[in-house]
Structure 1
Amino acid sequence: MTIATSRRGDSRISAVFLGIVAVAAVSGWAVWTDFAAAPGVAVFLFVTAAWIVSLCLHEYAHARTALHSGDISIGAKGYLTLNPLKYTHALLSIVLPVLFVIMGGIGLPGGAVFIERGRIRGRWRHSLISAAGPLTNVLFAIVCTAPFWLHALDGVPDTFRYALGFLALLQVTAAILNFLPIPGLDGYGVLEPWLSYKIKRQVEPFAPFGLIAVFAILWIPEVNQYFFDAVDALLRALGVTDWDTYWGRQFYQFWKGTPEIPTFTQS
């Protein structure tokens, strides 16, 4: 078994990741109990920490799938520890996605871990490795929206509900954008093994600019409107209203001024 070559320490969960989880848990408790004097700050810490946790799990899914597919170098790189500082592109994988959330409230995907593709045989395995990351965002979105579509929000504080709705919006946008068949994104990685050698060589020079291109295109007002209309429609189908995501964003961007807590919730 190839997995036997991976040492136990290579997959031990890092203290950095556990610290981020702790921040998410404590700030989530502060939002739930209205313990914080500034609820916007608590929402910001909760959503940001939970978002980073999802980014770590996204990259972990890529790495774990690659390990089981034949790349036994994954463990030595530290990817299985869930430590964001171990990623080959920590700037793309963590820093930029967090900045995009702070700037515009959008879950823009980050860069992937470095995988030695030459060790992996079979096109389906290559596609599955690329799909594993955004599928993690899909799973995270299902978890975040479950209280909404299960109608299990009775007794849940409004501020926590809004924070959860905004976090769901980030996961849905990340999943959609990641699955776009654009060079440099996971969606293209799913498709690439099935393309001819000639096409792959023609597309290869554009791969480093795929993420930048997506960000630039989303700045076009018409495209941005169409994209978020589609996202809102999907969220509404999952029980998350525009009201939830709007107030979640308002609380998250607390530096724009602490909003007054609404006295009612739209159904």
Structure 2
Amino acid sequence: MTTASSRRSDRRISPVFLGIAAVTAVSGWAVWTDFAANIRIAVFLFVTGAWIVSLCLHEYAHARTALHSGDISIGAKGYLTLNPLKYTHALLSIVLPVIFVILGGIGLPGGAVFIERHRIQGRWRHSLISAAGPLTNVLFALVCTAPFWLNALSGVPTGFRYALGFLALLQITAAILNFLPVPGLDGYGVVEPWLSYKFRRQVEPFAPYGLLAVFVLLFFIPEVNAAFFDLIHTILRGLGVSELDSYCGRDLFSFWTTRNEFVCGPVGQ
């Protein structure tokens, strides 16, 4: 029997998410105030924490939109608690995206929440559910870049500015990759309801390999990689974030490498 108290618990923010948000806030404060003994570790914790928070919000947006579209099973699955451990594939949703940020400095799309699509009526609703996640990344990117496009960088510490620049790059890459109309990605989920049943059945077996195909193209074909990041930096420049900002943010984030002070200059202690 489902009670009112159990329904409330289905929506109560998870302590796991609150802990991640707290680490993000404290490390962000340490970057801003230059309190940390090693600002690069503080930047790493701040960007990684904020990235995980954005992944949780991405999946929450899918789940919340599905709930309001007719899938009343969402709450019982724990998706509304923002707990990343409740996702269908925590490895795909959280672990792999974080690893790709560490290794390649790219916002890899996360895994999935399981939505019972048969409960949802109307093609527009199905498309909106798929679009809700990457739209969250777009909103997150706008928040990260607000000091840049509002010309409000006066008084913002250099290290924090660089961290925001790199975090914005991650959000833009995640949004663009997610919106690709490739089976297995959210972009395909947006257009899928409008395709013929026959075509969807033919494409369905390839869905598990869509992200892998994108990965291969992006990392092993230099021309595709160059075109992709040219697009990313064009968007970032439109939002006031220079390539130097995002590059130096990644330079600070990668605390295990030697800093390029010749390009980025000294930051912090």
1:263 is displaced (CA, Å) by 4.6
Cα distance change of structure 1 residues 116 and 158 upon mapping to structure 2, 3 Å threshold: same
8 Å contact from structure 1 (residues 21, 49) kept in 2: yes
In the other structure, the counterpart of 2:142 is: 142
Structure 2: distance between partners of 1:10 and 1:229: 42
In the other structure, the counterpart of 1:225 is: 226
1:264 is displaced (CA, Å) by 9.2
Q: In the TM superposition, what are the counterparts of 1:13-92 in structure 2 within 5 Å?
A: 13-92=13-92
In the other structure, the counterpart of 2:200 is: 200
Q: In the TM superposition, what are the counterparts of 1:1-267 in structure 2 within 5 Å?
A: 7-219=7-219, 220-260=221-261, 262-263=264-265
Does the residue aligned with 1:7 lie in a helix, a strand or coil? Answer: helix
Cα distance change of structure 1 residues 5 and 34 upon mapping to structure 2, 3 Å threshold: closer
Structure 2: distance between partners of 1:264 and 1:238: 25
8 Å contact from structure 1 (residues 11, 80) kept in 2: yes
Comparing 251-260 with 15-24, which one deviates more in the overlay? 251-260
Does the residue aligned with 1:181 lie in a helix, a strand or coil? Answer: coil
Does the residue aligned with 2:135 lie in a helix, a strand or coil? Answer: helix
Does the residue aligned with 1:151 lie in a helix, a strand or coil? Answer: coil
1:257 is displaced (CA, Å) by 2.2
Does the residue aligned with 2:152 lie in a helix, a strand or coil? Answer: coil
- What TM-score comes out, normalization by structure 2 length? 0.95
Does the residue aligned with 2:261 lie in a helix, a strand or coil? Answer: coil
Structure 1: distance between partners of 2:128 and 2:5: 22
CA deviations 1:138-181 (Å, max 9, x no partner) are 00001001100000000110000000000000000000000000
Does the residue aligned with 1:255 lie in a helix, a strand or coil? Answer: coil
Structure 2 unpaired stretches of 5+: none
CA deviations 1:69-123 (Å, max 9, x no partner) are 0000000000000000000111111111111100000001011200000110000
Cα distance change of structure 1 residues 263 and 111 upon mapping to structure 2, 3 Å threshold: closer
Structure 2: distance between partners of 1:108 and 1:122: 29
Cα distance change of structure 1 residues 147 and 69 upon mapping to structure 2, 3 Å threshold: same
8 Å contact from structure 1 (residues 40, 258) kept in 2: no
1:6 is displaced (CA, Å) by 7.3
2:228 alignment partner AA: F
Cα distance change of structure 1 residues 138 and 190 upon mapping to structure 2, 3 Å threshold: same
- What TM-score comes out, normalization by structure 1 length? 0.95
How many residue pairs are counted as aligned between the two chains?
262
Structure 1: distance between partners of 2:259 and 2:244: 17
CA deviations 1:211-250 (Å, max 9, x no partner) are 1111111011111011001100110010000110110010
Cα distance change of structure 1 residues 182 and 129 upon mapping to structure 2, 3 Å threshold: same
1:258 is displaced (CA, Å) by 3.9
Root-mean-square deviation (CA), in Å? 1.6
8 Å contact from structure 1 (residues 5, 72) kept in 2: no
1:37 is displaced (CA, Å) by 1.5
